């Protein structure tokens, strides 16, 4: 026993390095199939410790940004005023067009009212931080389990799907964006109703995979959530196909996807806390507001 201790002490450096590497590897192994309690606990401790500071820092940064913006605004006010006069004329023309569109919208709204209204409930949250690495695409929100946020709740922006909640602490929540490499969202090509899986791609946006080879998918096709998998309600806008790849010998074709939401500039998002099981209200009209 003492011989072993002497041996370990002699090779202390190698023992510590090997121990650290093995412990890291073991921690990763624990998460392959399901999240272990020790992993969840460690993550929650880190999140719970850092999130108050994150909120303060974000508030400080936004305050400083506002002061800077006000200063810049003052300097540019004169040029802005001149430019705005020109824009007023352009906007007047736009107003005429929008009035025409408003009448059309009113007609469509009457048609939509005939459909069963969705009773989905949303919780608005502010983005207080982004992923600490460039490898994964997650954001931190200022709402947590105290406000009713739970794992796997869908997160939306006015333009469409953002992702889903993957971790929750009492005061904050971590959201996996749809461009995250380990994210997978059931997608549906709106025009041809072809289904596939939308997932992130390391360093290169999002892709729609597992599209049948003979499926009719072209550049410009809009993709919405398919509702399969039980996490995301059907019909939430996901993005638009910007390229289609058909490799020879491959069993499926793939499409590059431009997300409907600009995920790099998110400031506020909506967490879908209580969707209806067969919520048809998302389709066609985009995401609902609370």
Rounded Cα gap, residues 12 and 10, in angstroms: 6
Cβ closer to other proteins: 126 or 288? 126
Q: Which region among 2-10, 47-55, 241-249, 274-282 touches other proteins (by CB under 8 A)?
A: 47-55
Binding pattern for the stretch 101-140 against other proteins, x by CB under 8 A and - elsewhere: ---------------------------xxxxxxxxxxx-x
Cβ closer to other proteins: 65 or 107? 65
Beta strand extents in 112-236 (DSSP E only): 121-130, 138-141, 154-157, 160-168, 173-177, 184-189, 195-200, 206-212, 222-225
Interface with other proteins (CB under 8 A), residue from 7, 8, 61, 67:
61
- Contact by Cβ (8 Å): 159, 237: yes
- Contact by Cβ (8 Å): 102, 144: no
> Among candidates 172, 88, 77, which has minimal Cα distance to 126?
172
Q: Which region among 35-43, 148-156, 215-223, 280-288 touches other proteins (by CB under 8 A)?
A: 35-43
200-219 binders of other proteins (CB under 8 A): 201-204
How far CA 27 is from CA of 14, 35, 38, 125, 227, in Å, comes to 20, 10, 9, 31, 33
- Contact by Cβ (8 Å): 162, 261: yes
Cβ closer to other proteins: 86 or 249? 249
Nearest approach in angstroms of CB 31 to other proteins is 5
Cβ closer to other proteins: 90 or 133? 133
Does the protein bind other proteins through residue 71 (CB under 8 A)? Answer: no
Tokens of 132: 């600490």
Tokens of 135: 């490898």
Dihedral (Cα; 120, 124, 130, 135), 10-degree rounding:
10
Rounded Cα gap, residues 117 and 276, in angstroms: 10
Binding pattern for the stretch 244-273 against other proteins, x by CB under 8 A and - elsewhere: --------------------x---------
Cβ closer to other proteins: 61 or 67? 61
Does the protein bind other proteins through residue 180 (CB under 8 A)? Answer: yes
Interface with other proteins (CB under 8 A), residue from 27, 67, 84, 117:
27
Q: Which region among 57-65, 101-109, 142-150, 279-287 touches other proteins (by CB under 8 A)?
A: 57-65
> Among candidates 235, 243, 174, 164, which has minimal Cα distance to 208?
243
Cβ closer to other proteins: 21 or 108? 21
Q: Length of the chain in residues, anyone?
A: 290
Helix, strand, coil distribution of the chain in percent, nearest 5: 40, 25, 35
Which residues contribute to the site for other proteins (CB under 8 A)? 12-13, 16-17, 20-21, 23-29, 31-32, 39, 42-43, 45-47, 50, 53-54, 57-58, 61, 128-138, 140, 166, 174, 176, 180-182, 201-204, 264
């Amino acid at each position: 026993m003492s011989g072993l201790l002497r041996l370990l002490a002699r090779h202390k450096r190698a023992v510590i390095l090997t121990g650290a590497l093995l412990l890291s590897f073991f921690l990763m192994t624990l998460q392959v199939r399901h999240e272990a309690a020790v992993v969840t606990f460690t993550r929650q401790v880190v999140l719970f410790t850092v999130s108050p500071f994150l909120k303060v820092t974000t508030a400080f940064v936004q305050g400083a940004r506002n002061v800077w913006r006000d200063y810049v605004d003052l300097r540019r006010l004169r040029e802005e005023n001149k430019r705005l006069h020109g824009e007023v004329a352009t906007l007047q023309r736009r107003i005429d067009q929008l009035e025409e569109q408003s009448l059309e919208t009113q007609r469509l709204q009457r048609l939509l009212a005939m459909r069963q209204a969705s009773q989905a409930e949303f919780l608005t949250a502010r983005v207080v931080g982004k992923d600490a690495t460039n490898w994964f695409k997650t954001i931190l929100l200022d709402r947590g389990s105290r406000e009713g946020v739970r794992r796997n709740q869908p997160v939306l922006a006015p333009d469409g799907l953002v992702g889903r909640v993957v971790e929750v602490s009492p005061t904050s929540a971590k959201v996996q964006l749809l461009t995250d490499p380990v994210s997978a969202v059931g997608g549906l090509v709106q025009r041809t109703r072809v289904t596939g899986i939308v997932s992130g791609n390391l360093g290169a946006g999002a892709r729609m995979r597992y599209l049948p080879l003979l499926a009719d998918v072209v550049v410009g096709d809009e993709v919405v959530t398919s509702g399969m998998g039980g996490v995301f309600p059907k019909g939430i806008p996901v993005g638009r196909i910007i390229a289609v790849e058909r490799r020879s010998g491959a069993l499926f074709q793939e499409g590059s996807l431009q997300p409907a939401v600009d995920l790099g500039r998110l400031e506020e998002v909506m967490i879908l806390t209580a969707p209806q099981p067969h919520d048809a209200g998302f389709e066609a009209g985009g995401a609902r507001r609370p």
